[in-house]
Structure 1
Amino acid sequence: KIQAGLGITRGAAFDVQAVCAGFIFALSTADNFLKAGQFRTALVIGAETFSRILDWNDRGTCVLFGDGAGAVVLRAAEGEGTSDDRGVLSTHLFSDGRHHDALYVDGGVSSTQSAGHLRMEGKEVFRHAVVKLADSVNEALEANGMTADAIDWLVPHQANARIITGTARKMGLPMEKVVMTVDRHGNTSAASIPLALSEAVADGRIQPGQVVLVEAIGGGLAWGSALIRW
């Protein structure tokens, strides 16, 4: 429907579902299509309407999440194949189904034929998030021969302030380099990173040539990171 609304009549249009980590999974998918030469331009959208699956009697979840949408456009370009190139430098994706019960929806067409509600074990998610996100970030830096000092901006999935500050602290990154919007948007799942990118570009914080690190973790558990030279 989005494709039709934009007047696009060619090219593939499909969904990528990885909830809060969905934007990074979709970004990685599009990046690899472009690098393989199969496509030249990709529109990556992160959108969520969490209000439809929240249990409004569960104060542990209903006050945390929000609805939102954001997007980025990727275009293939020639480069030197080094970390000085502008664009997506690398993406790193992970999943571990053993922790499914930490964050999930207790329904769905394929399981209970109902919409279900979001369920979360907050303490367990926090414990996994800080460690797994930091490990993912370190892998991204190592893959590009960089250290945390090279990062101009960390744009994390806006899960909550504790996870964001905990991850930044584990990376040794000052909060002055972290884009945080969760205090205004809530956790908008797959939409949170493109929303934060949009805000930081619009207000002039993110500039061309800067190194931007994005990371996210969500239900599944699924998590990942991407290193970008803007």
Structure 2
Amino acid sequence: MVDEVTAELAALENARVRAVNERHGDDHGVNLGELRALAKRLKTQHELAGRLWETDDSAARLLAILVCRPKAFTREELDTMVREARTPKVHDWLVNHVVKKNPHAEELRLSWSADPDPVVASAGWALTAERVAKRPAGLDLAGLLDVIEAEMRDAPDRLQWAMNHCLARIGIDHAEHRARALDIGERLGVLKDYPTPPGCTSPFAPVWITEMVRRQQET
């Protein structure tokens, strides 16, 4: 079965899609709409997902994420997988579509956030941003701002992006910390010059926070 699926993925390979993806650090040429359509046809197949992941092919791993059972993975399996997920899209999908739905997410958040590997640490910060927005009880938001203020400017790109997301969520969702979040964002200037398409909100935290709060107040 895995050979049939990987052959189908190979048939979906598109040079132009690959060229676009490679500019963003990814290494596959499969249109994500076609990938999702294939996943919908296959439905949930956790064993197949495991075998697709083992191929070490990015398109196969993205498909594995879509057909797996997120709650079925052990803590150790997810820790191994996040260390193997070296391309941005596989890493992001793994965290957002699998880890966030797994019962070990909080344990992994705590261990990953302090990991010396910045890519692994970025997964921990992504999970923290999720908690800031949805389940903030028990979080030391002031302490998180202390770490962001001290470390975000010099953090590697993917870790910096995740910390910036956490900074923005604190400012958006917690009015009592908003002024400090805005101040940190302005002083650090992280992503201030990030190219943003027309109609999209800049990831620069002060702009992001201000715009999202404005929208909340209008509803």
Please indicate, yes or no, whether the TM-score normalized by the shorter chain is above 0.5: no
Task: Calculate the TM-score normalised by the size of structure 1.
Answer: 0.25
Task: Calculate the TM-score normalised by the size of structure 2.
Answer: 0.25
Structure having the higher strand fraction is: 1
Structure having the higher helix fraction is: 2
The answer to which structure, 1 or 2, has the higher relative contact order (CA under 8 A, 6+ apart) is 1
